[in-house]
Chain A
Amino acid sequence: MEAAVFILSLVDCCALIFLAVYFIITLSDLECDYINARACCSKLNRWVVPELVGQALSTVLMLVSLHWFVFLLNLPVAAWNMYRVWKVPMGNMGVFDPTEIHNRGQLKSHMKESMIKLGFHLLCFFIYLYR
C-alpha cells in the first residue's frame, strides 16, 4: 500500500515536472518571440486543468495514506492552482490571456511561478523517492 502510493505519486510528480518544464519552455519561446501570444496561450491553457488535477491527485493520495507532512506541503500548491483558475475574469480566455500576457510584466510572473513549481515538484520527487 505504502509503496503503491509513493510509486503513483512519483509518476504523478514526474508528469508535473514535465508540465512545469513545458510551461517554462513555451513561455520563454514567447519571450524570445518564437511564437505569438495567441498560440502560446492556447497551448498553455490546455494544460492548466491537467496540472491542477495532477497536483490535486498527489495531495489526495497523501491525505489518504495519512502522510501529513507531505500533504501539508502539497496543499498550498493545490489550493493556489484552484484559486488561479477560479479567479480568471469572465472576459479572459483562461489563466493565460494573450491580450494581457505582455502587459504589466505578466509574462515574467508566469515564468517565475513555473520556476517555483518546478523547484517544488523536484523537491517532492525526491521526497517520494526516498520515502
Chain B
Amino acid sequence: MSSTGFNSQNGPGGQPYANGPFQNQVALQPPGPGYNMTHQPPYNPMQAKGPMPPGPGLYNSGPYQPIPPVSSYQASPGQPMLNRPPMGSPHPMTPPQSTSPCPGPRMPPAQATPAPPVSANSYYQHPPAWQYEALPLMGAPPPMGALPPLATAPLTFVDNHVTSSPSLAPPQASSAGYSAAPPPVYHNAMQPSGPPLPLTSLHRYTQPGSAPPPMNPVAPPHTYQPGMTAPYGHPSTGLPPSMRPTPPPMGNATPPLPFSPKTDGHIATPANGAQVPNSFDHLETGPKMAGPPQQPAPPARHMGLSYPSLPPGYQNTSASPMHHPMQAQTQPYSHAPQSYQQLSAGPAQLSPSLAGLSLQSQTPETLRVVNLLQERNLLPPGPVTPPTPCLPQDLQKINCHPEVFRSTLTSIPQTQSLLNKAKLPLGLLLHPFKDLSQLPVVTSSTIVRCRSCRTYINPFVTFLDQRRWKCNLCYRVNDVPEEFMYNPVSRSYGEPHKRPEVQNATIEFIAPSEYMLRPPQPAVYLFVLDVSHNAVETGYLDVVCQSLLENINALPGDSRTKIGFISFDSTIHFYNLQEGLAQPQMLIVSDIEDIFLPTPDSLLVNLNECKELVQDLLKSLPQMFGKTMETQSALGPALQAAFKLLSPTGGRVSVFQTQLPKLGVGALKSREDPNQRASAKDIPNLSPATDFYKKLALDCSGQQVAVDLFLLSSQYCDLASLACISRYSAGSVYYYPSYQQQHNPAGVECFQKDLKRYLTRKIGLEAVMRIRCTKGLSIHTFHGNFFVRSTDLLSLPNVNPDAGFAVQMSIEENLVDMQSVSFQAALLYTSSKGERRIRVHTMCLPVVNSLSDIFAGADVQAITGLLASMAVDRSVTSSLSDARDAMTNASIDSLTSYRTSVLTIQQPGLLAPACLKLFPLYILALLKQKAFRTGTSTRLDDRVFAMCQLKYQPLAYVMLMIHPALYRVDDLTDEGALNISERAIPQPRVQQLSVEKLSREGAFLMDAGSVIYLWIGRNCNPDFLTQVLGVPDYAAVPQNMNILPELDTAESQRTRAFVGWLREQRPFFPILHVIRDESPLKASFMQNMIEDRTESALSYYEFLLHVQQQVSK
C-alpha cells in the first residue's frame, strides 16, 4: 500500500526512495533538513572507512534483508493507528525512526533546543513541547490559541486530531496526515538519479547496481536501522514519537524543491573532503567550508500564527498533567514556569501573555525588590553562587559548569534593542583549560562536527532521528556517521544520543592527524635570566635554580622535552649543553645590535639526555655572577635571541627581569613621576611606550612561542610596555614588587610556591581556541592574553590552566524564533605528551523577551568581571577617569532601567532586584581596586599589574581581588564545616567589608586573592593568641608574622585548615600577613574595607546615595 502511495507522490519528482523509515522523518523536517538529507548519501560511504562497528556488517547486507517486512513491520508496531495515512503515504514507516530519538532521556532537551529557523519547524515542534513541558500554560492559553488558528488550520489537520485523539501521540497522527504532500519532495532530493522505484524492498535490491554510487550506501543503513531501533523505539510509549512528526503543512511542500538533488550531491562531497583542512585556522574553523545556505527560511511568521491551533488538541492529551509536577520540581526559580514556557513554546507571540501569567503568580526570588539603602547585610553567608539558567532540568544538569563557562546574562535577550534597554553588558567568561577532576576523553577517528559551522556535536544538538542531528548553532542538519552509532560506553549500537559527546558539556577529544599541521611539537622550555648586578642583589637566581632542580623531573613533557638557558646583562650569554661536554659551556655574544645564535644546535637540548649537564648548570649559575658589576640589562636583544632559538619548534620562554631594560632594542625610559602616584587626576602612561614588545610577541605567536614574564623589582620597570610581550603571545605575567631575598622572606616563599606551580602545571602547546555562538549572536571584543588571529580564532602559543578569558557579544540578528542559544569554546592544543587534543565546552542558555527575565538572570559577579575588563581597556585607550565614570554609569544605568522598565510599583529608595543587589557594592569595590583607584598612592607598575590580572585571571580569583572576603576567625567552630579528605574545614560567615564589623575582641581574616591578612584585635581573646598564634599576649605578636605556627590545639588546627583550604582553591600562593594595629600593613588592610569612607573615596552609603540621585533623575 505504501508503495502506491509513493508512486503517486513520486510522480512529480520521481522519487524512488523507498526507505520508508526515513521518509517520515524527512517529511517532518523543515525544508532545510530535507535538503541536508541529500548529503547523507555521499557522506556515509566516507564514514564507512572508519572502524566498523557491529553495525556495518548488517549494514552491508542490509539491502537484501528486511525489505518488505520492514515497512510493514514498522507500520504496525510503532503506531498503527496514527500512521494510517489517509492518503496512503509513506508514513507507515515513520514510527521506528521517530521513536528512536525519543526514548533517550535527552529527548526533551532536543526539543527545547531545536531552533526554529523555519516556520515549519517551530510549528511542529510545539506539540512535543506542549506535551512535555508547557503544561502550566495549557490552562491559560487555550483561549488565545484555540480559535483563530483553527480557522487557518488545514482540513487534514483536523482529521488528524480525530484519528489520533485516542492515542497518546496526536502530533504524529497529524504528521501522518500532513506528510502526504511533503514527502515526495524530500525523497526527490535524496535520490536524484535513482529510478523511480516506489517500493522500499525494490529499492534496496536495485541499489547495489543501478543507483548512483554515492547515493546507494545510504539506503542500506536505513533498512538496517529499522530493525535495530524498532525494539527500542516502541517501548517508548506513544508519547515521545509524537515529537518530531508533524510535517509541515501545505506551504512546506514547496520549500524543499529549490534544493535540487544534484546540487546537494555536489555540495556533499566537497564538504567531506574539506574536513581535512591544512592550516590551523582551518582545523579549528569551519565557516569557510560552509556548504550551501542552510536556512531556506521560508515564511516564518505565518507559521507562528498557525501554531496556536495545535494546543487545543493537545490539551486533551493526558501527557500534560502528569508532566506538570516534574516541571515544578526542576525549576530553580519560582518564575521558572514562565521561561520554561517560552522555551517550549517557541513563537514569540506566546511569550508576552505567558510572562504576564507567571508574573502575577509570583515574583521570582532573583527579582525580589531590595531597597539597597535599607538593607545593610547584603552578602550571603557563604560564597556568592552564580544563577542557574532557566532551562529544563535535564538540560541544566548537563550544562557546562559555571566555573568554566559563564555568561553575564543567564537569559539572553531576544533582540539587541532589548539588551540595550537592560543596560547590562552581554558577554562570556571562560576558564577553558581549568584543571578538572573529571574529564571524559574520547578517542575516535571521526570527530563529529557540523559540516557548515564546524561546531562539535554536543548535548544541546537535536537528534531528528537516529541518523541525523541538527546543529544547535547554525541549525544545519547533519548526518550521524556510522561510527557514531556505536556507543563505546554502553557497548550498544543505535543510540547516538547516549554517546559521551552528547552526554557531557565538557569533553576532550584526542584529535586525529587532520588536526595537525606538523607533527605535535615537543615541550620546549627556555629560561631567560637577568644576571645584572641588580638581579644578583635580589637573590632570585638561587630560588629559580633551586626550584628548577627540585622540579626538573616534574616538568610536563615526554622523552622529547627540550630545555635551554640564556642569561643576559649588557651582553647575552648562551649555554652550550651538548651531550658529551664535561661541563656547560658559556658563550657570550656582545653584539646586541644584531643578535645571532652562536651554536644553534646545542643550545636547546633534550632534557632527559643532558639532565646532568643541566643540573650542573643550575647548581653553578647562582655563583657565576656573584661579583658582576654590570648594571645594565639588554632585555630586548635577549628576547630576540630567545625567539630565534625557539622559532623552529615553538615552546615556552620564561623571562626573569629585575629592572628597567635600558640597552639595545626595546630600551625603555622611566615614565613614572613618583609625586603623581596619589594624584586624583588622570594617570598617564598606562599604555605601552613602544611597539617593540608587541611586534615581537606577534612574531612569537606566529611561531608558537609564548613568553611568560616574571618581574621582580623594587623600582619602576614599565610593566605597561613589558607586559605586551606576554599579553599577545598568550603568556602570563607575575610581578613581585620589592622582591628581596634577605628582607622579604614572605615574598620569597610566595615566589617559590608560584614557581613550583608554574613549572609543574599542565601546559598546552601550539593551541588555538575558537568560540562559537548561535547564529545571530556575534562576539566583538576579546579580553585576555592571546592574539586574535581572525574573527573568532584566538591564537594561543601556550595555554595554561590558570588563564581566563572574556568576550563581549552583541545580538546581530533577532533571536525571535529561538528558545535557547548555545555557546561553544573549542580549544585545540598539543599536550606535553605530544598528543593533539581538543577540549570542548558547550553552554546552553534560554532566550527571553522581557526585561524582567533578563534582570532575573543577571549574574552579578560575571557582570562585574566583564566590566572590569572593559574598564581596563577603557583606561588604556582613553583615560582612567573615563573608565571610572563608565563603571559608575553602568550601575546607574542598569538600576535606572530596572526602575523604569521592570518595577511596576514605584517606591522610594534605591531599588534593585535581588540578583543585582551586590552590583553597586562591586562597582564601588572596583573603583577602590588598585587598578582604578585614584587619590591613594599607587605605584604605576602595581596598577598596571592589577589591570593585567583583571583581564587575565579567571573570574573566581578576580572576584576576591575586587571584593575580598572577610571572616571572623577567633571563634571558628566545626559547625557546618566542610569535610575534605578527613579534614574539617570550618566555614565562617562572610562579613561586610566595614570597620564596624571588626571588633577589638576578635581576630579577622581577610582573603584578598593574592594576599591574606589576619588582623588581631587589641583585646583579642587570649586563648586565640596562645592557641593559634603561639604568643602569650597581644604585645608579643611579631611585626612580620607570615606563618601560623603548627600548634597541637583544636583552634590552631581549625585555623590552619581554613587558611590552607583557602590557599588550595587558587593556583597562586597568597601570603599570610598577621597584622595588628601598629603594623605597617594595616593601611593596605584598611584600604580593602570597601564600605568605609576614605579621604579620597566615597563610602558605600554615600555611593548609594549618589547612584540613587542619578537613578531618580
Question: A72-107, CB under 8 A of B: which get 1 and which 0?
Answer: 000000000000000001111100001100111100
Would A36 and B789 count as touching, CB distance under 8 A? yes
Given contacts A90-B690, A91-B690, whether A33 and B787 have CB atoms under 8 Å apart is no
Stretch of B119-127, B239-247, B280-288 with 4 or more beta carbons under 8 angstroms from chain A: B280-288
Specify which chain A residues have a CB less than 8 angstroms from the CB of B789 in the assembled complex. 36-38
When the two chains form the complex, which single residue of A37, A38, A91, A105 contacts B687, counting CB atoms closer than 8 Å?
A: A91
A105 — nearest CB in chain B belongs to which residue?
B780
Specify which chain A residues have a CB less than 8 angstroms from the CB of B390 in the assembled complex. none
A31 at the interface (CB under 8 A from B): yes
Specify which chain A residues have a CB less than 8 angstroms from the CB of B873 in the assembled complex. 103-104
Within 8 A of A (CB), among B249-301: 281, 285, 287-288
Stretch of B672-680, B691-699, B887-895 with 4 or more beta carbons under 8 angstroms from chain A: B691-699
Q: How far is the CB of B647 from chain A (nearest CB, A)?
A: 15
When the two chains form the complex, which single residue of A30, A91, A98, A105 contacts B688, counting CB atoms closer than 8 Å?
A: A91
Q: How far is the CB of B795 from chain A (nearest CB, A)?
A: 9
Would A38 and B702 count as touching, CB distance under 8 A? yes
Give Cα distance in the complex from A60 to B728, angstroms: 41
Q: How far is the CB of B541 from chain A (nearest CB, A)?
A: 30
Given contacts A89-B687, A93-B694, A103-B780, whether A98 and B787 have CB atoms under 8 Å apart is yes
Would B287 and A33 count as touching, CB distance under 8 A? yes
Would B694 and A33 count as touching, CB distance under 8 A? no
Would B691 and A92 count as touching, CB distance under 8 A? yes
Would B788 and A103 count as touching, CB distance under 8 A? yes
Would A103 and B689 count as touching, CB distance under 8 A? no
Specify which chain B residues have a CB less than 8 angstroms from the CB of A37 in the assembled complex. 787-790
Given contacts A37-B788, A38-B698, A91-B691, whether A104 and B721 have CB atoms under 8 Å apart is no
When the two chains form the complex, which single residue of A33, A89, A92, A93 contacts B791, counting CB atoms closer than 8 Å?
A: A33
Give Cα distance in the complex from A98 to B728, angstroms: 10
Question: B708-732, CB under 8 A of A: which get 1 and which 0?
Answer: 0000000000001100100010000
Given contacts A36-B789, A98-B787, A99-B698, whether A90 and B780 have CB atoms under 8 Å apart is no
When the two chains form the complex, which single residue of A30, A91, A93, A104 contacts B689, counting CB atoms closer than 8 Å?
A: A91
Specify which chain A residues have a CB less than 8 angstroms from the CB of B791 in the assembled complex. 31, 33, 102
Specify which chain A residues have a CB less than 8 angstroms from the CB of B829 in the assembled complex. none
Specify which chain A residues have a CB less than 8 angstroms from the CB of B420 in the assembled complex. none
Specify which chain A residues have a CB less than 8 angstroms from the CB of B689 in the assembled complex. 90-91
Specify which chain B residues have a CB less than 8 angstroms from the CB of A30 in the assembled complex. 790
When the two chains form the complex, which single residue of A33, A89, A91, A99 contacts B790, counting CB atoms closer than 8 Å?
A: A33
Give Cα distance in the complex from A34 to B285, angstroms: 12
B60 at the interface (CB under 8 A from A): no
Within 8 A of A (CB), among B287-338: 287-288
Give Cα distance in the complex from A66 to B721, angstroms: 47
B724 — nearest CB in chain A belongs to which residue?
A91
Give Cα distance in the complex from A118 to B690, angstroms: 32
Given contacts A91-B721, A104-B780, whether A98 and B690 have CB atoms under 8 Å apart is no
B698 — nearest CB in chain A belongs to which residue?
A38
Question: B763-791, CB under 8 A of A: which get 1 and which 0?
Answer: 00000000000000000111000011111
Would A102 and B782 count as touching, CB distance under 8 A? yes
B727 — nearest CB in chain A belongs to which residue?
A99
A107 — nearest CB in chain B belongs to which residue?
B791
Q: Count residues of A near B (Cβ-Cβ below 8 Å).
A: 17
Which secondary structure characterizes the binding site on chain A? Answer: loop
Would B691 and A90 count as touching, CB distance under 8 A? yes
Give Cα distance in the complex from A98 to B698, angstroms: 9
Q: How far is the CB of A14 from chain B (nearest CB, A)?
A: 32
B279 — nearest CB in chain A belongs to which residue?
A36
Specify which chain A residues have a CB less than 8 angstroms from the CB of B782 in the assembled complex. 102-103
B720 — nearest CB in chain A belongs to which residue?
A91
Specify which chain A residues have a CB less than 8 angstroms from the CB of B724 in the assembled complex. 91
When the two chains form the complex, which single residue of B288, B690, B728 contacts A33, counting CB atoms closer than 8 Å?
A: B288
Q: How far is the CB of A110 from chain B (nearest CB, A)?
A: 14
Give Cα distance in the complex from A31 to B689, angstroms: 29
Specify which chain A residues have a CB less than 8 angstroms from the CB of B288 in the assembled complex. 33
A90 — nearest CB in chain B belongs to which residue?
B689
Specify which chain B residues have a CB less than 8 angstroms from the CB of A36 in the assembled complex. 281, 789-790
Given contacts A33-B287, A91-B689, A93-B695, whether A102 and B702 have CB atoms under 8 Å apart is no
Give Cα distance in the complex from A99 to B695, angstroms: 10
B782 — nearest CB in chain A belongs to which residue?
A103
Give Cα distance in the complex from A37 to B786, angstroms: 13
Of B287, B691, B720, B721, most buried by chain A (CB within 10 Å of CB) is B691
Give Cα distance in the complex from A92 to B689, angstroms: 9
Within 8 A of B (CB), among A53-75: none
Q: How far is the CB of B870 from chain A (nearest CB, A)?
A: 9
Would A90 and B285 count as touching, CB distance under 8 A? no
B790 — nearest CB in chain A belongs to which residue?
A33
A101 — nearest CB in chain B belongs to which residue?
B788
Q: How far is the CB of A90 from chain B (nearest CB, A)?
A: 5
Q: How far is the CB of B779 from chain A (nearest CB, A)?
A: 9
Within 8 A of B (CB), among A17-49: 30-31, 33, 36-38
Would B781 and A91 count as touching, CB distance under 8 A? no
Within 8 A of A (CB), among B843-868: none
Give Cα distance in the complex from A103 to B788, angstroms: 9
Specify which chain B residues have a CB less than 8 angstroms from the CB of A91 in the assembled complex. 687-691, 694, 720-721, 724
Give Cα distance in the complex from A37 to B682, angstroms: 32
Give Cα distance in the complex from A7 to B853, angstroms: 64
Give Cα distance in the complex from A81 to B687, angstroms: 23
Give Cα distance in the complex from A92 to B724, angstroms: 11
Question: B941-973, CB under 8 A of A: which get 1 and which 0?
Answer: 000000000000000000000000000000000
Give Cα distance in the complex from A61 to B690, angstroms: 36
Give Cα distance in the complex from A90 to B877, angstroms: 11
Q: How far is the CB of B596 from chain A (nearest CB, A)?
A: 25
Specify which chain B residues have a CB less than 8 angstroms from the CB of A93 in the assembled complex. 691, 694-695
Q: How far is the CB of A85 from chain B (nearest CB, A)?
A: 14
Give Cα distance in the complex from A38 to B781, angstroms: 17
Give Cα distance in the complex from A36 to B698, angstroms: 12
Give Cα distance in the complex from A16 to B780, angstroms: 30
Give Cα distance in the complex from A36 to B285, angstroms: 13
Specify which chain A residues have a CB less than 8 angstroms from the CB of B690 in the assembled complex. 90-91
B794 — nearest CB in chain A belongs to which residue?
A102
Give Cα distance in the complex from A30 to B695, angstroms: 19
Q: How far is the CB of A59 from chain B (nearest CB, A)?
A: 29
Q: How far is the CB of B278 from chain A (nearest CB, A)?
A: 15
Q: How far is the CB of A31 from chain B (nearest CB, A)?
A: 7
Specify which chain A residues have a CB less than 8 angstroms from the CB of B877 in the assembled complex. 89
A35 — nearest CB in chain B belongs to which residue?
B790
When the two chains form the complex, which single residue of A90, A92, A99, A105 contacts B787, counting CB atoms closer than 8 Å?
A: A99
Specify which chain A residues have a CB less than 8 angstroms from the CB of B781 in the assembled complex. 103-105
Q: How far is the CB of B658 from chain A (nearest CB, A)?
A: 22
Specify which chain B residues have a CB less than 8 angstroms from the CB of A104 in the assembled complex. 780-781, 873
Specify which chain B residues have a CB less than 8 angstroms from the CB of A38 in the assembled complex. 698, 702, 789
Specify which chain B residues have a CB less than 8 angstroms from the CB of A92 in the assembled complex. 691, 694
- Please name the 5 residue pairs, one residue from A and one from B, whose CB atoms are nearest each other, closest first: A91-B688, A102-B788, A33-B790, A103-B781, A93-B691
23 contacting pairs across A/B (C-beta < 8 A): A31-B791, A33-B281, A33-B790, A33-B791, A37-B788, A37-B789, A89-B877, A90-B687, A91-B687, A91-B689, A91-B691, A91-B694, A91-B721, A93-B691, A93-B694, A98-B698, A99-B694, A99-B698, A99-B728, A99-B788, A102-B791, A103-B782, A103-B788
Q: Chain A interface (Cβ within 8 Å of chain B)?
A: 30-31, 33, 36-38, 89-93, 98-99, 102-105
Extra contacts besides A36-B281, A89-B687, A90-B690 (7): CB < 8 Å:
A38-B789, A91-B694, A98-B698, A99-B728, A102-B788, A103-B788, A103-B873
